[in-house]
A and B are shown apart, each in its own frame.
Chain A
Amino acid sequence: MKKIKRGTWVEVENTILYPEDRSNQLPLETKKIPYEMKVRGFLANDAYLNEIVTIKTLSRRFIKGKLMQSQPEYNHTFGPPVIELLHIGEEEENILNNRQ
């Protein structure tokens, strides 16, 4: 496995609460899973994936966590066209032009 260099922008994960520590008032499907966090920052020391590392965040905090990703992507996109939306406006233009 390739070592990730110190200073690389990475994402770490942490478990904040285990199921037994979570509120009993939660819906069961939420209660039975751990409460987790993900934070991104610059890797403080060379490390391998899945190691516990320290990162320096954009607010200059040092946070420890399990190294999950190097250079985490923003991969949210518009996606393919939504055909259900494309015809919106046709009918209304007809109404505006009195061609109902």
Chain B
Amino acid sequence: MFDQTYQQTMQRRNEIIENSLKVNYEQFQTSPIAFDYEKMMTVLGYSIEEVMDIQKEFHVGNTPLWELNQLTELVRKIAPKGKGAKIVMKDEAANPSGSFKDRRASLAVYEAKKRGFTGVVAATSGNYGAAVASQAAKQGLKCIVLQETFDSNGVGQPEIIEKARKCESLGAEVVQLSVGPELFYTALATLDETKYFNASLYSPYAIAGVETLGYEIGLEVQQQFGKEPAAVCVTHAGGGNITGTARGLRKFGNKQTKIIGVSVDLKGLHMASDQDFNRKSFTTGHTGFSMPFTTNPDRSDVPYNAARPLRYLDQFITVTQGEVFYTTELLAKLEGLERGPAGNTSLAAALVLAQQLDEDEIVVVQESEYTGAGKHPVAQLNFAKEQGISVYKGNPEENKPGSTIVIPEHIQQIKIEEIDLDRIRESYLRNKLENEDVKKLNMGDKNFLAKEVNRGLDYIESYINQHSSHLKKETNPSE
């Protein structure tokens, strides 16, 4: 199939990535553990005005901001007196391919074209594939989408199959792969063979593209309600959505708004397991992505990941699969909006968070996505039942990823699970210090780490004092 063997290709990974992105990442490196993140985002990125112009040209963005009046009223009926923030939703399904991912794709494809590439490659089982396919069609480039699609029985999640259909309808070649992290190798080999642009989800372009979403939210909430939102709930997977939205809100000038990442809890399901593959009813927006990408962002397909969620997260929450399916159905029944479940992960959390906030506050659900056959709770729950998963109505606390999906009987049963961000920060720091052969941290390193975990220098000093074993010894006789 490929001219290069696995080992040969993997050995050339840096060269292939550099050729396919035309980015020399070494220019940002400031020490073995630190790099200049803002330099990377400004030197390679575009100003937010430029991004908005590009997106406007390709019909991306300027999506409606809906007040979810019925859901807000419902929350106020069950919240303590005076509580029940207004819930508003940025309807990203209004983008050309039906999700916020068009914002990421528009800029990546634009950059590819500007640099003379004739095509783009994207590795994704989610909405990003459709977005890259759509923008490639619109901007006149070829497109190859690689997805992890099927298990050893040849069976795939209806949601991923639907994404393949959508990509093909938009003119893209879809390469469907069995379960495994070798998706990365296949993407490298494809980039090497085609010399196409690497439309990585984690390039500065992909993140700068999302900044307009945060900026629009800041601007529109200000215009319509004369204030900042108290919270913006973001479905959290690889971290690009959080990072871009938070940066956009800051660029607009919001200072108070809390950035809340929400993932579907898929605890216990191994991401590289052929057996677990079809026992996940969420193919994106789940902890299998959000946890590793938060604690170790650079373990991605680029040397420095531009998605750095820990820099921006104020709160990290999980909800269960059943709660998200319930919320999706409720959005359709009470608001007349039939949207895909992945984006409603953050809406499920917003239904709870709004009960804790004052009535005059605003909580924004920052995305929505298209839905249809294969990408709908009905399709996904039928598939789950076929896989032997028990689906029933009841107490969501009984939800067990891969075994049961419990649909709440009423809104009061939705609970949110808070992830301890300090534990995540410590995992990040441990990964960072153990992965690099660092003996001593200089001031630049400490400042970098403080920014990475969104804490002060004193936090880093105190961590190092308590965990000096994570630093390599000056001289280690056993080595």
Is B one of A's binding partners?
yes
Measured CB to CB, the closest approach of chain A to B97, in angstroms, equals: 16
Distance in angstroms between the alpha carbons of A63 and B144 in the assembled complex: 13
- Whether a CB of chain A sits under 8 angstroms from the CB of B329 is yes
Given known contacts A77-B379, A78-B373, is B393 in contact with A84 (CB within 8 Å)? Answer: yes
**CB contacts between A and B, total, < 8 Å:** 152
Establish whether residues A38 and B150, one from each chain, have CB atoms under 8 Å apart when the complex forms: yes
Distance in angstroms between the alpha carbons of A27 and B77 in the assembled complex: 48
Measured CB to CB, the closest approach of chain A to B448, in angstroms, equals: 29
Q: Looking across the interface, which residue of chain B has its beta carbon closest to that of A64?
A: B1
Establish whether residues B165 and A85, one from each chain, have CB atoms under 8 Å apart when the complex forms: no
Measured CB to CB, the closest approach of chain B to A87, in angstroms, equals: 8
B171 is contacted by which of A34, A58, A74, A93 (Cβ under 8 Å)? A58
B373 is contacted by which of A29, A33, A58, A77 (Cβ under 8 Å)? A77
Establish whether residues B273 and A59, one from each chain, have CB atoms under 8 Å apart when the complex forms: no
Establish whether residues A58 and B182, one from each chain, have CB atoms under 8 Å apart when the complex forms: no
Establish whether residues B180 and A78, one from each chain, have CB atoms under 8 Å apart when the complex forms: no
Establish whether residues A61 and B1, one from each chain, have CB atoms under 8 Å apart when the complex forms: no
Establish whether residues A78 and B379, one from each chain, have CB atoms under 8 Å apart when the complex forms: yes
Write the B328-354 contact mask toward A (1 if CB under 8 angstroms, else 0): 011001100000000000000000000
Measured CB to CB, the closest approach of chain A to B175, in angstroms, equals: 5
Given known contacts A39-B173, A76-B162, is B411 in contact with A59 (CB within 8 Å)? Answer: no
Interface residues on B, range: 35 or more
Interface residues on A, range: 35 or more
On chain B, the residues within 8 Å of A41 by CB distance are 173
Q: Looking across the interface, which residue of chain B has its beta carbon closest to that of A74?
A: B165
Establish whether residues A22 and B182, one from each chain, have CB atoms under 8 Å apart when the complex forms: yes
Establish whether residues B1 and A82, one from each chain, have CB atoms under 8 Å apart when the complex forms: no
Given known contacts A39-B176, A77-B373, is B168 in contact with A58 (CB within 8 Å)? Answer: yes
Q: Looking across the interface, which residue of chain A has its beta carbon closest to that of B179?
A: A30
Write the B414-453 contact mask toward A (1 if CB under 8 angstroms, else 0): 0000000000000000000000000000000000000000
Interface residues of A in 40-65 (CB under 8 A from B): 40-41, 57-61, 63-65
Interface residues of B (CB under 8 A from A): 1-2, 6, 70, 73-74, 77-78, 119, 142-144, 149-150, 152, 158, 161-162, 165, 168, 171-182, 185-186, 194, 270, 272-275, 325-326, 329-330, 333-334, 373-374, 376-379, 381-383, 391-393, 407, 409-411
Known contacts A17-B182, A82-B391; 4 additional CB pairs below 8 A are A59-B142, A82-B381, A88-B329, A91-B409
